[in-house]
């Protein structure tokens, strides 16, 4: 992994083609929310399939918690869609069949020259693509469980949402005013 890809640093704002053949930037997909970013070997890997099956079952909690999730795989668009469908994923999958990220981040999995995948990683990103945590998933146990994700996302959300604790001084007054400290209401007009 590149030496500058560490907690506290900004993850590169890659632009890739999604499962529906649209070009998408990570920052656009993230918006103002925390994000789980999975760098995946792809459709052929049973470890990736298992991780994604667990995430698909966990997805209703991710969605209701104002959290985004994105998978990037070295699959082509057809394989990407088959992978996404096979695991029942409802989130965006991006294709890196050209290995742009694998090369840029220096994460080629040299132990599999046949598939030439990237070493799987899971990132927890704060808004602005700021890296909160990195999991190296070369071995399956290195990947985060849903309980790990829950704890990481709790800490990130507590950090970025001023209205985490509604008893905090000034929050009630802000609610009755411009709501700038209340997400997602700060974006709506009263």
Q: Please write the tens of the pLDDT for every residue from 97-117.
A: 999 999 999 999 999 999 999
- Report the CATH number that the domain containing residue 136 is assigned in CATH: 3.40.30.10
For the chain, how many residues are written? 190
Task: Please check whether residue 142 lies inside any domain of the structure.
Answer: yes
Q: Put residue 42 in one of left, alpha, beta given phi > 0 → left and psi -120 to 50 → alpha.
A: left
Which of 126, 142, 124 minimizes the C-alpha distance to 134?
Answer: 124
Task: Please check whether residue 138 lies inside any domain of the structure.
Answer: yes
The count of domains in the chain is 1
Task: Please check whether residue 45 lies inside any domain of the structure.
Answer: yes
Q: At 86, is the pLDDT very low, low, confident or very high (cuts 50, 70, 90)? A: very high
Task: Please check whether residue 22 lies inside any domain of the structure.
Answer: yes
Domain extent for 113 = 15-161
Task: Please check whether residue 4 lies inside any domain of the structure.
Answer: no
b/e map of 30-41 (b: 16 or more CB within 10 Å)? beebbbbbbbbb
Return d(Cα 190, Cα 186) in angstroms, integer.
9
Q: At 190, is the pLDDT very low, low, confident or very high (cuts 50, 70, 90)? A: very low
Mean pLDDT along residues 137-145? 94
């Amino acid at each position: 992994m590149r030496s500058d890809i560490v907690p506290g640093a900004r993850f590169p704002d890659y632009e890739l083609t999604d499962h529906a053949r649209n070009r998408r930037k990570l920052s656009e997909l993230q918006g103002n929310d925390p994000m789980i970013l999975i760098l995946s070997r792809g459709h052929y890997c049973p470890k990736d399939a298992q991780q994604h099956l667990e995430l698909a079952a966990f997805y209703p909690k991710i969605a209701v918690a104002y959290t985004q999730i994105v998978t990037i795989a070295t699959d082509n668009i057809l394989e990407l869609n088959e992978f996404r469908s096979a695991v029942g994923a409802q989130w965006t999958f991006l294709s890196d069949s050209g290995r742009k990220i694998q090369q840029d981040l220096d994460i080629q999995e040299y132990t599999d020259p046949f598939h030439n995948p990237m070493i799987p990683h899971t990132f927890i990103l704060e808004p602005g693509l700021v890296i909160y945590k990195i999991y190296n998933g070369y071995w399956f146990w290195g990947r985060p469980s849903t309980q790990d994700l829950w704890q990481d996302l709790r800490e990130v959300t507590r950090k970025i949402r001023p209205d985490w604790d509604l008893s905090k001084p000034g929050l009630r007054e802000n609610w009755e005013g411009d709501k700038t400290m209340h997400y997602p209401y700060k974006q709506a007009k009263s």
